[in-house]
């Protein structure tokens, strides 16, 4: 029995529904088809939530989004990357990657979901502020980032939540002691090399207890 176009659409939407907020997967799928995107749900990447690659020598648009994002972060990241695609189709490489043209396209895409009961109230309020001047990454907007992280299945601890003097480790495995706040970063001492480092307040950290250093 052959698979019809409708069957294929239904199957793909069912997959997307596992990652997107309820009621949004069909529009996400329609954009993938309309823009002929080679879409991939990627493994976790610490350096980025998603990625866009423009066509090369007659190729196709490629977009990937990390599989472990919560449903709201997944949708926002997908819109972020599609905005790059739309900008590329209109301007090619003649404008800045996250300049005014990209911000304009990103706002338009997000407005398909804002005010439609897609996002929780706190996420929508953070988005309302964010889309006035979107940054290159949602991580760069601390309010939006904090709000989105509240909806992760496995919540994480951020450096700004720890008391002064707390011991913690980050992705590198090095051990740090939390110091005083300097604007949005904390001046922390690395106990491995005794050097001082500025660490973002929203850095995801693992708390280390004093007991680990007991004799």
- Same-domain check for residues 44 and 129: yes
CB 185 within 8 A of CB 176: no
Q: Considering its fold, how many domains does the chain have in total? A: 2
The reported pTM is: 0.76
- Same-domain check for residues 135 and 191: no
Q: Which domain holds residue 45?
A: 5-149
Q: Each residue's pLDDT tens digit in the chain (215 positions)?
A: 456 778 889 999 999 999 999 999 999 999 999 999 999 999 887 678 999 999 977 789 999 999 999 999 999 999 999 999 999 999 998 999 899 999 999 999 999 999 999 999 999 999 999 999 888 777 678 889 889 988 988 777 889 889 999 999 987 788 999 999 998 899 999 999 999 999 988 888 888 865 444 33
* Residue that is last in its domain, among 112, 129, 149: 149
- Same-domain check for residues 76 and 112: yes
- Same-domain check for residues 49 and 75: yes
* Residue that is last in its domain, among 131, 149, 167: 149
* Residue that is last in its domain, among 118, 149, 180: 149
- Same-domain check for residues 178 and 136: no
CB 111 within 8 A of CB 134: no
CB 83 within 8 A of CB 32: no
The pLDDT value recorded for residue 213 is 43
CB 25 within 8 A of CB 16: yes
Q: Under DSSP, is residue 196 helix (H, G, I), strand (E, B) or coil?
A: strand
CB 70 within 8 A of CB 120: no
- The CA–CA distances, whole Å, from 81 to 102, 132, 195 equal 10, 18, 37
| 66: phi then psi, degrees, rounded to nearest 5 | -60, 140
- Same-domain check for residues 114 and 62: yes
Nearest in space to 75 (alpha carbons), one of 143, 18, 132, 155: 18
Q: Three-class SS string for 147-164?
A: HHHCCCCCCCEEHHHCCC
The pLDDT value recorded for residue 215 is 34
Q: Under DSSP, is residue 115 helix (H, G, I), strand (E, B) or coil?
A: coil
CB 158 within 8 A of CB 202: yes
- Same-domain check for residues 130 and 161: no
């Amino acid at each position: 029995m052959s698979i019809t176009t409708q069957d294929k659409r239904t199957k793909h939407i069912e997959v997307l529904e596992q990652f997107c907020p309820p009621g949004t997967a069909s529009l996400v799928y329609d954009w993938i088809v309309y823009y002929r995107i080679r879409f991939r749900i990627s493994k976790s990447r610490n350096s980025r939530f998603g990625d866009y690659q423009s066509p090369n020598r007659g190729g196709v648009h490629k977009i990937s989004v990390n599989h472990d994002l919560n449903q709201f972060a997944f949708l926002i990241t997908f819109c972020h990357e599609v905005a790059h695609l739309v900008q590329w189709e209109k301007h090619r490489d003649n404008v800045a990657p996250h300049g005014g043209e990209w911000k304009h396209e990103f706002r338009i895409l997000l407005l398909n979901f804002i005010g439609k009961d897609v996002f929780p109230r706190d996420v929508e309020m953070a988005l309302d502020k964010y889309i006035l001047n979107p940054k290159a990454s949602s991580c760069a907007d601390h309010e939006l980032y904090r709000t989105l992280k509240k909806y992760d299945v496995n919540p994480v601890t951020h450096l700004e939540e720890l008391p002064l003097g707390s011991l913690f480790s980050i992705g590198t495995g090095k051990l740090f002691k939390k110091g005083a706040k300097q604007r949005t970063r904390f001046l922390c001492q690395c106990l491995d090399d005794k050097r001082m480092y500025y660490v973002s307040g929203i850095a995801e950290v693992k708390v280390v207890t004093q007991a680990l250093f007991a004799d």
